[in-house]
C-alpha cells in the first residue's frame, strides 16, 4: 500500500538515481585525479567540513551573507568529491562512512548556528532566529532518525527536506538577502522549518511501518 505521506517517493527515487548518475559523470574524473595525487576520501571529507564550518561561522555572524553563501557552497562540493574519491579507490570504508556522517552533522549545525547569530545580533530579528534554531535542531533530528532506525534494523529514507534541499533553500535565501532582496531569508527559513517538520513526521511514520512489517513477518 502506498503511504499517504509519500505520494512522490518513487518519483523522487528515480530522480535521485538519474541526478546521481549525471553528477557522477562530472565528479568521478576529479575523484580519480585526487586519488592519483595521493588525496584520500577522508582528507576530502575533513577539508569540506572544516571549510564549511569556518565559512559559516566567520562570514554569516559578520553580516557577510553573499561571501558566506559562496564560500559554503564551494566547500559543500567536497561532499560530492569524497564519494568520487572513494569510488575511484574501489569502495568506501566503515570508518569513512561514520566520518562523513559526523562531518555532515557538524557542518549542518555550523550553517544554522551562523545564520542564527546573524538573525539575533546583526538583523535583530528574534522571530527569524527562532526559525533558524528550529531548522538547526530538526535537521539533526532528521538525520538521527535515519541513523537510529538503521542501527535497529529498520528502513527509513526520503522526506521532503533532505540534506540537499536544506542547503539549497537556506543558501539561496541567505545569498538573496545579502544581495538586498527583502524577506528572502525569512521565506527560506520558515519554509524550511515547515518542510523539516513534515520530514520528521514522514520518517517517524516510515520507521513505524517498517517496525510493524518486521513484527508481522
Residue 27 is predicted with a pLDDT of 75
The answer to the question of residue 3 being in a domain is: no
Pairwise CA distance, residues 207 & 209, whole Å: 5
Residue labelled with grid coordinates 512489517: 213
Better-scored residue on pLDDT, 142 or 17:
142
Which stretch of 48-62, 84-98, 106-120 has the lowest confidence by average pLDDT?
Answer: 84-98
With helix as H, strand as E and coil as C, how does 13-53 read? HHHHHHHHHHHHHHHHHHHHHHHHCCCCHHHHHHHHHHHHH
List the one residue out of 147, 139, 146 whose CA is nearest residue 163. 139
In a domain, 1, yes or no: no
83 in a domain, yes or no? yes
Note whether 83 and 45 are within 8 A (CB). no
78 found inside a domain? yes
Mean pLDDT, the chain, rounded, equals 86
Tell me how many domains the chain contains: 1
Could you tell me what percent of the chain has a pLDDT over 90? 59
Identify whether 2 is part of a domain: no
For the cut 60, the answer to whether the pLDDT of residue 207 exceeds it is yes
**Domain containing 50: what range?**
9-216
Residue 69 in domain? yes
Instruction: Determine if residue 216 is left, alpha or beta; phi over 0 gives left, psi from -120 to 50 gives alpha, anything else beta.
Output: alpha
pLDDT of residue 198: 95
For 126-138, write each residue's pLDDT tens digit: 999 999 999 999 9
pLDDT tens profile 48-61? 999 999 999 999 99
**Per annotation, catalytic residue among 79, 100, 104, 108:** 104
Catalytic residue status for 104? yes
Burial class (CB in 10 A: 0-12, 13-18, 19+), 126: exposed
User: Is pLDDT above 90 for 188?
Assistant: yes
User: Which of 124-138, 140-154, 156-170 ranks highest by mean pLDDT?
Assistant: 124-138
Domain membership of residue 124 (yes or no) is yes
Q: How confident is the model at residue 164 (pLDDT cuts 50, 70, 90)?
A: confident
Is residue 189, in this structure, part of any structural domain at all? yes
The CATH code of the domain that includes 41 is 1.20.120.1760
Amino acid at each position: 500500500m502506498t503511504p499517504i505521506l509519500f505520494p512522490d517517493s518513487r518519483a523522487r527515487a528515480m530522480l535521485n538515481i538519474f541526478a546521481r548518475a549525471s553528477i557522477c559523470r562530472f565528479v568521478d574524473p576529479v575523484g580519480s585525479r585526487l586519488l592519483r595525487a595521493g588525496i584520500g576520501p577522508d582528507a576530502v571529507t575533513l577539508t569540506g567540513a572544516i571549510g564549511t564550518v569556518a565559512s559559516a561561522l566567520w562570514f554569516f555572524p559578520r553580516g557577510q551573507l553573499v561571501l558566506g553563501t559562496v564560500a559554503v557552497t564551494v566547500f559543500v562540493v567536497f561532499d560530492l568529491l569524497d564519494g568520487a574519491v572513494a569510488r575511484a579507490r574501489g569502495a568506501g570504508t566503515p570508518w569513512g562512512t561514520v566520518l562523513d556522517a559526523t562531518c555532515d552533522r557538524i557542518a549542518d549545525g555550523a550553517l544554522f548556528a551562523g545564520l542564527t547569530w546573524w538573525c539575533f545580533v546583526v538583523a535583530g530579528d528574534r522571530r527569524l532566529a527562532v526559525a533558524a534554531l528550529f531548522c538547526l535542531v530538526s535537521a539533526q533530528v532528521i538525520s538521527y532518525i535515519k541513523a537510529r532506525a538503521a542501527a535497529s534494523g529498520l528502513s527509513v529514507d526520503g522526506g521532503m527536506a533532505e540534506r540537499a534541499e536544506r542547503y539549497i533553500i537556506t543558501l539561496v535565501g541567505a545569498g538573496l538577502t545579502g544581495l538586498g532582496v527583502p524577506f528572502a531569508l525569512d521565506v527560506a527559513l520558515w519554509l524550511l522549518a515547515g518542510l523539516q517538520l513534515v520530514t520528521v513526521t514522514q520518517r517517524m511514520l516510515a520507521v513505524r511501518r517498517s517496525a510493524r512489517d518486521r513484527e508481522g513477518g
